[in-house]
Amino acid sequence: NAGVTQTPKFRVLKTGQSMTLLCAQDMNHEYMYWYRQDPGMGLRLIHYSVGEGTTAKGEVPDGYNVSRLKKQNFLLGLESAAPSQTSVYFCASSYGASGGESYEQYFGPGTRLTVT
Amino acid sequence: KNQVEQSPQSLIILEGKNCTLQCNYTVSPFSNLRWYKQDTGRGPVSLTIMTFSENTKSNGRYTATLDADTKQSSLHITASQLSDSASYICVVSDSWGKLQFGAGTQVVVTP
């Protein structure tokens, strides 16, 4: 049981390049999330999904797109990377919304992205 | 303005000593509060969760308290170990499941 995995672990992009971050979970969770973590700030929600085939915007969605074609995978895309998107990106999953103890979010190890 | 404020930003403690981290929040309506531990280069891992009716919860050497009236929580680490060096994040959930993350307190335990 690997939990939540993220690919790649590190990436350096040039401004304007595109890339896709892959998140996979093997816990049969319905909900999946993408966050970014910047120094001195709390994690901020980019996009989330409440089930296969669904996606929704979070707090900071601009410049990102997502897809949830399979229940176990959640992809985060950057179409035209900007230096402001330099950050550490975390994927998380949960059985449902965090309204109770059973809906804990489980986090992946993160992807460190640098845009030059 | 962040609805979850943590203090201090960082602290250094000697191995074996105790420490207490603070979390103040304005999230409403309140559902639950979690403390997460995030080791360097890793994702956050949940330590404790407390709902409105709970005022203390322990997980080994970690003890969290909650005062829902004053909207304050604390995380107490007893007899610190080198492995306690990490960032500790306070996360508050509202009734609709929306999470607000604090910026974290960076704890360094020295021998």
Cβ separation A43–B101 shorter than 8 A: yes
pLDDT of A89 > 90? The answer is yes
- The partner residues of A84 in beta bridges, in order of sequence, read none
At a CB cut-off of 8 Å and minimum separation 6, what does B55 contact? B65, B66, B67, B68
Q: What is the pLDDT of residue B98?
A: 83
pLDDT band at A40 (very low <50, low <70, confident <90, very high): confident
Is A41–B51 a contact, with Cβ atoms under 8 angstroms apart? Answer: no
Cα of A12 to nearest chain B Cα, Å: 17
Minimal-distance CA residue of chain A relative to B5: A42
Contacts of B46 in chain A (CB under 8 A): 104-105
pLDDT-derived band at A101, boundaries 50, 70, 90:
low
> So what's the pLDDT on residue A102?
56
Residues 70-99 of B with CB under 8 A from A: 89, 93, 95-97, 99
In order of A36, B3, B54, B65, B91, the CA distances from B59 in angstroms are 27, 25, 14, 12, 17
Q: Which of A45, A98, A108 is facing B43, going by the closest CB pair? A: A108
Across the interface, do A41 and B103 touch by the CB < 8 Å criterion? Answer: yes
Q: Kindly indicate the confidence band of residue B81, based on its pLDDT and cuts at 50, 70 and 90.
A: very high
**Closest Cα in chain A to B51:** A100
Residues of A whose CB is below 8 A from B52: none
The pLDDT value given to residue A103: 78
**Per-residue CA distances from B88 to A21, A43, A61, B111 (Å):** 26, 12, 26, 20
pLDDT at residue B19, rounded to an integer: 97
Position B52 pLDDT exceeds 90:
no
Strand B10-14 and strand B105-110: pairing?
A: parallel
Tally Cβ neighbours within 10 Å of residue B83.
9
Residues of A in contact with B97 (CB under 8 A): 96-99, 103
A101 contact residues in B (CB cutoff 8 A):
32, 49, 51
Nearest by CB to residue A42, choosing from B45, B97, B101, is B101
